[in-house]
Amino acid sequence: MTDENKEKDMETTEPKTGVYICYCGGNISDHVDVEALRDKATGIPGVAVARTSQFMCSDPGQELIMEDLKSGAVDRVVVASCAPSLHETTFRSAIKRAGGNPYIYEHANIREQVSWIHHGDAATEKATRLVAAAAAKAGLLKPLEPIRVDATQHATVIGGGVAGLRAAKDLAGRGIDVLLIEKSPFLGGQTATLSTVAPTGEEASDLVQELAGQVLSDPAITVHTGSQVTAIDGYIGNFTLRVVKEPPEGASEELKQSADSKKKSGAYIPFRGVYYQPEHGKPEKAEEFTQKTGVIVMATGFSTYQPRTGEYAYGETENVITLPELIKAMALNSGNGHMLEFKGRKIRSVAMIHCVGSRLIPGIHEEDESGYLNEYCSRTCCSAILHAANTIRETCPDTHVFDFYRDIRTYGRGQEDIYDQAAHNNVVFMRFEADSSPEVLQNQKAGDYPLTVRVKDTLTFGETVEVPVDLVVLAVGMEPNNVSDIVEMMKLPVGTDRFLLEVHPKLRPVEVAVGGVFLAGTCQAPMDIGEACNAAGAAAVKTSALLAKGFVELDPFVAEVDDAKCVGTGACLEACLNPGALNIIETVIDGETVKRALVTPALCLGCGACTAVCPENAININGWTLQQYEAMVDMIVAEDVAA
């Protein structure tokens, strides 16, 4: 039987729904009587088969579904398991492999919505009603076809740090033309502000110079520095970007005031990056251009936390600095080789304080001017500051180092060795609790140490210790760069930590909910250089897979207009959440010019806002029609759902 005949047959025959219930290794079955649920499911109208499995998402579980579809025992599928966001794709793929339409599937979440919050008979009763509701909807499902849109064989990378450079290089290596946009005149991002890289000890300048050189020499990659995206239109496979490119002097006030602007394009400038402004491409005034692209890779990076004035005495004395400031000072250190020097002063002892601007706790730490706290761990600060401590002890042995920490996180290959080496180098560790952070006090006595750090040291059972120091270094955390303009333009999801939010950290780690947009590096979360480059590589692989066919297939859960009912009131257009997804057009029907709503499927979010406001009930969402909703509600409130 052909696919077309199968679809016609489904429309004219009674539904044969298969219900497949997962034990989830005890996550569900510890609180839901799964076998009782299966027995009840067999009494739900339209259900032909009900089966259970320890792990429905496993190969044996999927085989149960596939065999029933192939044999004709079922023509619609309901899976009762964990949240659909985890394995919806898994089950749709299984149905497709069995020769079925992947959109004749409905999901009942009986883990997060049932077993994790209910117990005993109440859990089984609620699970039964959710399964019955899903079966009622499944009986009304129609085979759907994915939406196919042409895809431009081009990718745009926003951000010229190591993640952006790596993504551009990997994309070009897969035969995709790339536009790389960087708002500053320099390539290399925050990596360029480092001296050496832990744990390998490699020169950061060498890494940036090599990677940037490969990008700049690749004919498939066009690089625009001093440029910003000002508008983004379109959808997956067919974006249009408007970019403004500033002249070199206007791109950065820092560059304008610096002799570095006279450097040769492509040269590495310490603590800034690779300066790039091709002679033939230097605009004398701001220029604007547009670029059609199929995919956008966000590699917008991070900035370091800026301590507020008075935080650990920062800004009140020049003897309190941040770790990036120390790294730069150490690289320029012209001391005698035995003692660290800072601004011409010999540093006899230095205090290093962890978790500044990270792991902040409401009620204990002070909020910033916007009322926000960075409650997350920045992950890389511990290794970075211990690497600096080791460098001081090994190159300036007469400078003592005191390390004040809440917890130490040196994760990843070779990172724990940095901590071990610090102990071997006689770095003195003191541990404090979150509610008793170190106090940095200024000394008034002439000739004495300028600062004293007072802390309640939990390693000595809460003894208060005072450490005289010449310098305090704050291990500042990561914050995402401000890309609120792009977030607003594309409606990108942002997490509570203000980093861009992926669809799923395990199953779709570099994708966002907006189709055709991928994440690379620290715009997503705090990462070290290796992790950022790995994420960039993953984004490049996802991009090349998406663009390889020349077209993109999208789920068909979008609005559909019934022209026989639509009278063009425009209420749907006003309610639409995504500009361009709906338009009111004039068309000729039976010789009369009338207004009708027209959907652009690739832009439709499938949110249903238009459905809710249409006075004629002339618009519905494929796969989520009002009729299907009503059937679900009827089963949820029915007195006996399995009669």
Choosing from 429, 459, 477, the residue where a domain stops is 477
The answer to whether 312 touches 474, Cβ cutoff 8 Å, is: yes
Average pLDDT on 418-423 reads 96
Residue 251 clears pLDDT 70, i.e. is over it: no
Query: Is residue 605 situated within a structural domain?
Result: yes
For residue 209, the model assigns a pLDDT of 96
Determine how many CB atoms are found less than 10 A away from the CB of residue 353.
26
More confident residue, 289 or 283: 289
**Residue of 331, 326, 347, 299 lying closest to 480 (CA atoms):** 299
Give the largest CA-CA distance in the chain: 98
Q: Quick one: tokens of 518?
A: 């991928």
Average pLDDT on 395-423 reads 95
User: Are 531 and 572 in a shared domain?
Assistant: no
For residue 252, the model assigns a pLDDT of 55
561 three-class SS: strand
- Beta carbons within 8 Å of 22's beta carbon, 6+ residues apart: 28, 34, 52, 53, 54, 55, 56, 57, 61, 79, 80, 81, 82, 110
User: Are 139 and 178 in a shared domain?
Assistant: no
Q: What letter would DSSP give residue 508?
A: B
The answer to whether 11 touches 5, Cβ cutoff 8 Å, is: no
Give the DSSP per-residue string, 195-248: SEETTTTEEHHHHHHHHHHHHHT-TTEEEE-SEEEEEEEEETTEEEEEEEE--H
* Sheet with 177-181, edge to edge strand ranges: 221-224, 177-181, 154-158, 295-298, 517-519
Residue 444 clears pLDDT 80, i.e. is over it: no
Query: Is residue 626 situated within a structural domain?
Result: no
**Residue of 120, 97, 96, 201 lying closest to 555 (CA atoms):** 96
Q: How far apart are CA 138 and CA 77, in angstroms?
A: 7
Q: How far apart are the first and last CA of the chain?
A: 34
Q: How far apart are CA 443 and CA 445, in angstroms?
A: 6
For residue 250, the model assigns a pLDDT of 54
Confidence of residue 9 (pLDDT cuts 50, 70, 90): low
User: Are 412 and 452 in a shared domain?
Assistant: yes
More confident residue, 1 or 528: 528
For residue 10, the model assigns a pLDDT of 59
User: Are 329 and 459 in a shared domain?
Assistant: yes
Tally of domains within the chain: 4
Give the DSSP per-residue string, 277-317: --GGG--SS-EEEEEEESEEEE---EEE--PPTTGGGBTTB
Residue 349 clears pLDDT 70, i.e. is over it: yes
Q: Which residue type does 474 have? A: L
pLDDT in tens, 102-125: 999 999 999 999 999 999 999 999
Would you give the distance in Å from CA 410 to the centre of its chain? 23
- Is the bond leading into 199 cis (omega within 30 degrees of zero)? yes
User: Are 243 and 390 in a shared domain?
Assistant: no
For residue 389, the model assigns a pLDDT of 97
pLDDT in tens, 499-533: 999 998 988 999 998 999 999 999 999 999 999 99
- Domain extent for 527: 154-301+481-552
Sign of torsion over alpha carbons 23, 26, 27, 32? positive
Residue 158 clears pLDDT 60, i.e. is over it: yes
14 three-class SS: coil
User: Are 543 and 612 in a shared domain?
Assistant: no
Q: Give the domain CATH number at 72.
A: 3.40.50
> In angstroms, what is the C-alpha Rg of the chain?
30
pLDDT in tens, 68-106: 999 999 999 999 999 998 899 899 999 999 999 999 999
Confidence of residue 256 (pLDDT cuts 50, 70, 90): low
More confident residue, 371 or 13: 371
User: Are 425 and 463 in a shared domain?
Assistant: yes
Confidence of residue 4 (pLDDT cuts 50, 70, 90): low
The answer to whether 10 touches 39, Cβ cutoff 8 Å, is: no
Least confident range of 282-291, 320-329, 345-354, 578-587: 282-291
115 three-class SS: helix
95: phi then psi, degrees, rounded to nearest 5: -65, -40
Length of the chain: 643
Average pLDDT on 288-315 reads 96
Choosing from 519, 536, 552, the residue where a domain stops is 552
Q: Is 75 exposed, middle or buried, given 0-12, 13-18 or 19+ CB atoms closer than 10 A? A: buried
pLDDT in tens, 535-557: 999 999 999 999 999 999 989 99
- Beta carbons within 8 Å of 557's beta carbon, 6+ residues apart: 606, 621, 622, 623, 624
pLDDT in tens, 460-469: 999 999 999 9
Q: What does each C-alpha distance from 593 to 568, 588, 596 come to in angstroms?
A: 11, 4, 10
Buried b (16+ CB within 10 A) or exposed e, 165-204: bbbbbbbbebebbbbbbbbbbbbbbbbbbbbbbbbeeeeb
**Residue of 126, 122, 46 lying closest to 80 (CA atoms):** 126
Choosing from 477, 496, 521, the residue where a domain stops is 477
Average pLDDT on 455-479 reads 96
Query: Is residue 631 situated within a structural domain?
Result: no
User: Are 179 and 257 in a shared domain?
Assistant: yes
Confidence of residue 257 (pLDDT cuts 50, 70, 90): very low
User: Are 523 and 590 in a shared domain?
Assistant: no
For residue 8, the model assigns a pLDDT of 55
Query: Is residue 346 situated within a structural domain?
Result: yes
Q: Give the domain CATH number at 346.
A: 3.50.50.60
CA angle (310 as vertex; 305, 315 as ends), nearest 5: 75
Give the DSSP per-residue string, 347-364: ESEEEEEEEETSS--BTT
pLDDT in tens, 190-233: 999 999 999 988 999 999 999 999 999 999 999 999 999 999 99
- Beta carbons within 8 Å of 283's beta carbon, 6+ residues apart: 245, 246, 247
User: Are 58 and 160 in a shared domain?
Assistant: no
Query: Is residue 636 situated within a structural domain?
Result: no
Query: Is residue 630 situated within a structural domain?
Result: no
Residue 39 clears pLDDT 60, i.e. is over it: yes
Query: Is residue 627 situated within a structural domain?
Result: no
Q: How far apart are CA 54 and CA 72, in angstroms?
A: 24
For residue 588, the model assigns a pLDDT of 85
What percent of the chain clears pLDDT 90, i.e. is strictly above it? 82
User: Are 442 and 508 in a shared domain?
Assistant: no
Q: How far apart are CA 567 and CA 564, in angstroms?
A: 8
User: Are 193 and 323 in a shared domain?
Assistant: no
pLDDT in tens, 574-605: 999 888 899 999 988 888 889 999 999 988 98
Average pLDDT on 430-445 reads 92
Q: How far apart are CA 56 and CA 62, in angstroms?
A: 6
Query: Is residue 388 situated within a structural domain?
Result: yes
Q: How far apart are CA 393 and CA 607, in angstroms?
A: 59
Q: How far apart are CA 109 and CA 224, in angstroms?
A: 47
